[in-house]
Amino acid sequence: MNSAAPGQLIDGKAVSAQVLAEVTADVAALKAQGVEPALAVVLVGDDPASHVYVRNKVLRAGEVGIRSLEYRLPAEASAAEVLALVAELNGDASVHGILVQLPLPKHIDETAVLQAIDPAKDVDGFHSENVGGLSQGRDVLVPCTPAGCMRLLRDTLGDLSGKHAVVIGRSNIVGKPMAALLLGADCTVTVLHSRSKNAQALCRKADIVVAAVGRPRMIDAEWIKPGAVVIDVGINRIEEDGKSRLVGDVDFAKVQPLTAAITPVPGGVGPMTIALLMQNTVTAARQQHGTHLSAGTPLQAVAQ
């Protein structure tokens, strides 16, 4: 769909199902060559949300045929224990992807743990080797949420070259890699953050808006140029009318009528993140076994 109708919904559930179908086919092809893609997930502590995320990742891996290994360490595990586990997984040739679920307990230095992961197995794309590679336009493992946003944008708009994209938020997980990917796709990129001046006016110039702020419904109609494409990364739980609801960073009801296309929350970016994690795992397995990426596979396709 290269010409968007006004206010069109970008269906992340449908696109993620398509990505997962592609991954399932890729896994089958790898298995036919004697490679069984495997993802190790490390969970430290008792954070209930993290347990849900890990369960979902393991379930999704099973559905696409990826072998998953789950390692659960107690909240009081030492940094040395976590690093020893990462070292063991780095050295295990049958493991292609390693994901350490964040946040880690406060006494463990997250950066040290992420930096200990072999960059070739870093399916979250958080190691500085991959972060640096992304900024240099090299073919590296890219963080899953921004990679998912790029897939949605490409499916909606086709060529992104020359578009003015505004990213609201500059976190290492979403905002910064998103900006790097958009730049790699030849967009003109503006990144807004909490110290930005005239943020609303700058955003109103954008052809593409990616909101990753973590503030419920902050982006209203005043921020949006008519005809823009809006990707809402935010996931915020609020209490409203006596009910608990998930809402994005964009005020969907006010913004949708103005847009060419927009992601809903839930059902937009959310489902893409796990799908892209599965895709990264297959990419990592291919690269570790020296199998060339095919034209449709993520890294080139996402970053170029």
The binding site for ligand NDP (CB under 6 A) comprises 145, 168-171, 173-175, 192-196, 199, 212-215, 233-236, 269-270, 273
Q: State the helix-helix crossing angle for 175-184 and 144-157, rounded to 10 degrees.
A: 40
Report the C-alpha gap between 149 and 185 in whole angstroms: 13
Nearer to ligand NDP, 129 or 266 (CB): 266
State which residue, 196 or 288, has the beta carbon closest to ligand NDP.
196
Catalytic residue flag (residue 101): yes
CA dist 230 and 224 (Å) reads 9
Name the nearest CA neighbour of 99 among 76, 81, 82.
82
16 has binding-site annotation: no
Closer residue to ligand NDP in complex, CB, 72/215: 215
- Among 26, 57, 163, 176, the active-site one is 57
Beta-carbon contacts of 57 under 8 Å, excluding residues fewer than 6 positions away, are: 39, 41, 68, 99, 274, 277
Active site residue 121: no
Question: Closest separation between CB of residue 174 and ligand NDP, Å?
Answer: 4
Of 26, 121, 122, 124, which residue is the catalytic one?
A: 124
CB closer to ligand NDP, 108 vs 219: 219
> Least distance (Å) from ligand NDP to the CB of residue 272?
7
CB of 304 to ligand NDP, least distance (A): 23
Active-site annotation holds for 124: yes
Q: Report yes or no: 113 and 100 within 8 Å, Cβ to Cβ.
A: yes
**What is the DSSP code (8-state) at residue 232?**
E
Instruction: Determine the residue with CB nearest ligand NDP.
Output: 171
Residue among 38, 24, 33, 23 nearest 285 (CA): 38
Cα dihedral value 30, 61, 71, 85, nearest 10: 40
Q: Annotation-wise, does 169 bind a ligand?
A: yes
- The least CB distance from residue 90 to ligand NDP, in Å, is 25
**Binding site for NADP(+): residue ranges?**
169-171, 235
Residues recognised as catalytic: 57, 101, 124
